[in-house]
Amino acid sequence: MSAAPLEIANAGLVTSVGLSAASACAAIRAGLTNPTPTRFQSPEGEFIMAHSVPLARPWRGREKLARMAAMAIEECLAELPREEWQHVPLLLCVAEQARPGRTEGLDDVLIEEIQDLLDVRFAPQSVVIAHGRVSASVAMLHASRLVHEHQVPAVLIAGTDSLLTWPTLRVLSEQSRLLAEQNSNGFMAGEAAGAVLTRKPTDAAQLICAGVGFATERAHIDSEEPLRADGLTQAIKNGLAAAGLELHQLDFRIGDMSGEQYYFKEAALALGRILRQRKETFDLWHPAECIGETGAAAGLACLAVALMASRKKYAPGRGVLLHASADGGQRAAMIAVAS
């Protein structure tokens, strides 16, 4: 599978450290974080810490997901006349079907609720993409086909997710996957929404997604097989081949890892298996350090960070590898190049 290049024209982002792309990315760049105690306790009796998005009212569940998404979309499309929104398909990234405690109605009514909040109707090609952390990459491939094969002028990719429900936190806590005093090999749950507007590359493009790659990892986090990072390695190779680049030509990486050693080890193994020319530095950024594990919104957060780094000229170079790994074994990589 390959995708023709797409320009990332604008972004919106709603996180625990900022309610806009500019503020959230500035906080992420500075390494700021804002975890707060939830209402839930771990089996050891500790209140579970998490990254909650502070909104005007204490909305929860699907209503909060819709409102976060609407905020990110409104920011992302701020420069597009509102009467043109109806011609833009919405590819909405949400949690995978197998996620414990998955909110009901994501596939059936969430797009409708977002449209009602925005008082707009998006193009008929709008669809829900329920692949969790790899959703943004799947959506990018779908957007490329809509733009280049079906002549759609622009496609909006948005994602919204929250792990801050008791059914989800209970399972994660029982599996010892949450960061706690007794467990350093874990992550903090979070919630977020993000959006990017994609279109055919223009002369003024600041960031272009030049290639997308996918693969499957047999030794996923729940398996007992030895990890060799075969899936992520192949996904990155596929993305590089689609972009016509080699890994040493890129300048930094942005990953969706959120604290578990497994995913950092996977990223290191994949790098070692692909990189064939020595580089002095090859930074790895992981926004989840500041905003927590945000599921289907993680890929959009990584794209927003890449775009803002390009706009504000603090990226260490033009080429960036963005990669994502889902618990079920799905692996994805995007290759982006700044102007």
Per-residue pLDDT tens over the stretch 43-97: 888 899 999 999 999 999 999 999 999 999 999 999 999 999 999 999 999 999 9
165 contacts 103 by C-beta, under 8 angstroms:
yes
Q: At what angle do helices 110-118 and 61-76 cross, to 10 degrees?
A: 50
Tokens representing residue 225 in the block = 């097989």
Whether the pLDDT of residue 116 is over 80: the answer is yes
Per-residue pLDDT tens over the stretch 276-297: 999 999 999 999 999 999 999 9
Q: pLDDT tier at 12 (50, 70, 90 boundaries)?
A: very high
Q: Give the other-Cβ count within 10 Å of 171's Cβ.
A: 13
DSSP per residue over 272-298, as a string?
A: HHH--S--S--EEE-THHHH-B-GGGH
223 contacts 208 by C-beta, under 8 angstroms:
no
Tokens representing residue 128 in the block = 């829900």
- Average the pLDDT over 260-274 and give the result: 97
Pick from 42-56, 118-132, 158-172: least confident? 42-56
C-alpha gyration radius of the chain: 19
Whether the pLDDT of residue 42 is over 90: the answer is no
Whether the pLDDT of residue 203 is over 90: the answer is yes
Q: pLDDT tier at 3 (50, 70, 90 boundaries)?
A: confident
Q: What is the pLDDT of residue 275?
A: 96
Average pLDDT score over the chain:
96
Q: pLDDT tier at 1 (50, 70, 90 boundaries)?
A: low
In 3D space, the residue among 187, 163, 109 whose CA is nearest the CA of residue 297 turns out to be 163
Q: What is the DSSP letter of 45?
A: S
- Average the pLDDT over 88-113 and give the result: 97
pTM for the structure as a whole: 0.97
Per-residue pLDDT tens over the stretch 228-265: 999 999 999 999 999 999 999 999 999 999 999 999 99
> Quick one: what percent of the chain has pLDDT higher than 90?
95
Q: What is the pLDDT of residue 46?
A: 87
Q: Give the other-Cβ count within 10 Å of 37's Cβ.
A: 12
Q: What is the pLDDT of residue 339?
A: 83
Whether the pLDDT of residue 2 is over 80: the answer is no
**Domains along the sequence of the chain with CATH:** 9-199 (3.40.47.10), 207-338 (3.40.47.10)
